[in-house]
């Protein structure tokens, strides 16, 4: 099965009982047992048929063997970190998603799981940060908002040499463009709230592995801590994933044209997009992913100017989040990255006038006119 076919036909794509071509939403919390201990499903925290259909689907499309659905991306990431124990140390990409930074530094530290943030695009820096108690490397690529790229095959090599679990947040690329498990990762996590859901109407998280022992441990944690995705949201995600392929193709084409427009515009200073030849991660990203995605950032001369632009766009909606059919625009220094001190933000390259866009699937001519008017 090829990718777009898989999104529609992989996993459990129909109801064997009625022949319905859409998986039913099973709102049952418990299931009748044929005799004590004889059952297919027992209790819906442990397993629910609608959630199971989604979990089988994400496992298939990420080239894994076991999938797990959680109530949010953060619940999924938290469950993955709970694979580790007090005294363990984790290396993480230095500009990971803000919520990941927060859960690692303000929650998991309470359980004595230690973390070091490192530029994972620098292999020597990664090697130098490994300690005797290091157990995992946690990578995001491309990152937010500067679209920094990490070489997944190279990090997989370092992880293997040192016996570390290699975790990748694949939210930005989606399984349509990038499959980290095939590049040597052990665990893939997703904020399915973004491209997988794709319509800004569901909050969800997914985890995929291809190792039996990891799968067993993850299911144990999912069932023990209980941060599961409900049946209605599981169904919404299955529906969203069916169109992931055509959405990502359209987003790719729109984003290319918008990035070209921005690169040529006199009011725009810098453009960050891994599809640009001069982007420092262009070659590595091209070697590990089939497309560059719908996230791009650009700078204008000042924050005042940026704020004016954000007021003027009509189709680019001013909002956090990303990855949906509608285009979104945001100002990371005052929104997603506001909790980082300005000095640190500037060190990271997040300038005051940095604007981030998430390109949707509107007619690209409307999107271009929208930006043209706002930049005037």
Ligand X SMILES: *Cc1c(COP(=O)(O)O)cnc(C)c1O
Which of 47, 49, 73, 240 binds ligand X (CB under 6 A)? It is 73
Determine if 194 is a binding residue for ligand X (CB under 6 A).
yes
Least Å from the CB of residue 151 to ligand X: 18
Task: Assess 174 for contact with ligand X (CB under 6 A).
Answer: no
Asked if 203 touches ligand X (CB under 6 A), the answer is: yes
- Write down the catalytic residue from 88, 95, 169, 352: 169
Looking only at the bridges linking them, the beta strands covering 89-93 and 114-118 are parallel
Catalytic residue among 97, 138, 176, 195: 97
Residue 169 is among the residues annotated as catalytic for this protein: yes
Residue 114 binding ligand X, by CB under 6 A: no
Q: Is 93 in the site for ligand X (CB under 6 A)?
A: no
Q: Is 139 in the site for ligand X (CB under 6 A)?
A: no
DSSP 323-337: -SSS-EEE-GGGTTT
3 state SS of 53:
helix
Q: Is the CB of 113 or the CB of 300 nearer to ligand X?
A: 113
Number of C-beta neighbours around residue 363 at 10 A:
10
Does 191 engage in binding with ligand X (CB under 6 A)?
A: yes
Which of 24, 99, 157, 184 lies at the binding interface for ligand X (CB under 6 A)? 99
Cα 196 to chain centroid distance, Å, stands at 9
Distance between CA 324 and CA 231 in Å, rounded? Answer: 21
- Known active-site residue 32: no
Residues 6+ apart with CB under 8 A from 113: 81, 84, 85, 86, 88, 89, 90, 104
Query: Is 201 annotated as catalytic?
Result: no
- Rounded to an integer, what distance in angstroms lies between the CA atom of residue 272 and that of residue 278? 10
* 74 counts as binding ligand X under rule CB under 6 A: yes
Asked if 370 is part of the footprint of ligand X (rule: CB under 6 A), the reply reads no
Token pair of 214, please? 């990891």
Query: Contacts with ligand X in 248-267 (CB under 6 A)?
Result: none
Cβ proximity to ligand X: between 74 and 221 the closer is 74
DSSP 3-state helix, strand, coil percentages of the chain (rounded to 5)?
Answer: 40, 15, 45
Instruction: Identify whether 366 is a catalytic site residue.
Output: no
Per CB under 6 A, the list member of 52, 95, 169, 186 interacting with ligand X is 169
Q: Which of 39-47, 58-66, 97-105, 145-153 is the region at the interface with ligand X (rule: CB under 6 A)?
A: 97-105
Residue range at the interface with ligand X (CB under 6 A); choices 67-75, 155-163, 256-264, 281-289: 67-75
CA-closest candidate to residue 148, choices 116, 184, 172, 126: 172
Cβ–Cβ < 8 Å for 170, 322? no
The tokens describing 206, both together, are 């997914």
User: Counting every residue, how long is the chain?
Assistant: 376
Residue 72 engages ligand X in binding (rule: CB under 6 A): yes
Residue 23, token pair as written in the block: 């998986």
Q: Which residues are catalytic?
A: 45, 97, 169, 194
Residues that bind ligand X (CB under 6 A): 72-74, 97, 99-100, 140, 169, 171, 191, 193-194, 203, 205
């Amino acid at each position: 099965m090829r990718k777009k076919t898989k999104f529609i036909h992989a996993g459990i794509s129909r109801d064997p009982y009625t022949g319905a071509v859409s998986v039913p939403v099973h709102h049952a919390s418990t299931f009748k047992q044929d005799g004590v201990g004889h059952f297919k499903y027992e209790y819906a925290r442990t397993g629910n048929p609608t959630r199971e259909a989604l979990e089988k689907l994400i496992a298939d499309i990420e080239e894994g063997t076991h999938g797990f659905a959680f109530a949010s991306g953060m619940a999924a990431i938290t469950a993955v970190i709970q694979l580790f124990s007090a005294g363990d140390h984790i290396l993480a990409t230095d500009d990971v998603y803000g919520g990941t930074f927060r859960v690692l530094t303000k929650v998991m530290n309470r359980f004595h799981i230690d973390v070091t943030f490192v530029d994972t695009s620098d292999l020597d820096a990664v090697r130098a940060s490994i300690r005797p108690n290091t157990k995992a490397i946690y990578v995001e690529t491309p990152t937010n908002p500067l679209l920094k790229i990490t070489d997944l095959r190279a990090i997989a090599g370092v992880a293997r040499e040192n016996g570390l679990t290699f975790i990748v947040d694949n939210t930005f690329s989606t399984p349509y463009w990038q499959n980290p498990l095939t590049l040597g990762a052990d665990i893939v996590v997703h904020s399915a709230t973004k491209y997988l859901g794709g319509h800004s109407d569901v909050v969800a998280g997914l985890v995929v592995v291809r190792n039996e022992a990891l799968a067993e441990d993850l299911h144990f944690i999912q069932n023990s801590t209980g941060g599961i995705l409900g049946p209605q949201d599981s169904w919404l995600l299955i529906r969203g994933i069916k169109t992931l392929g055509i959405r990502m193709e359209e987003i790719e084409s729109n984003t290319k044209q918008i990035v070209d427009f921005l690169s040529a515009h006199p009011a725009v200073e810098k453009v960050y997009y891994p599809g640009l030849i001069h982007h420092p991660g262009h070659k590595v990203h091209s070697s590990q992913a089939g497309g560059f995605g719908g996230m791009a950032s650009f700078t204008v001369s000042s924050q005042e100017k940026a704020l004016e632009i954000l007021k003027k766009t009509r189709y680019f909606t001013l909002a956090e989040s990303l990855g949906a059919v509608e285009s979104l625009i945001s100002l990371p220094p005052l929104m997603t990255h506001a909790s980082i001190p300005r000095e640190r933000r500037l060190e990271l390259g997040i300038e005051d006038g940095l604007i981030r866009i998430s390109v949707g699937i509107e007619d690209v001519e409307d999107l271009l006119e929208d930006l043209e008017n706002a930049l005037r």
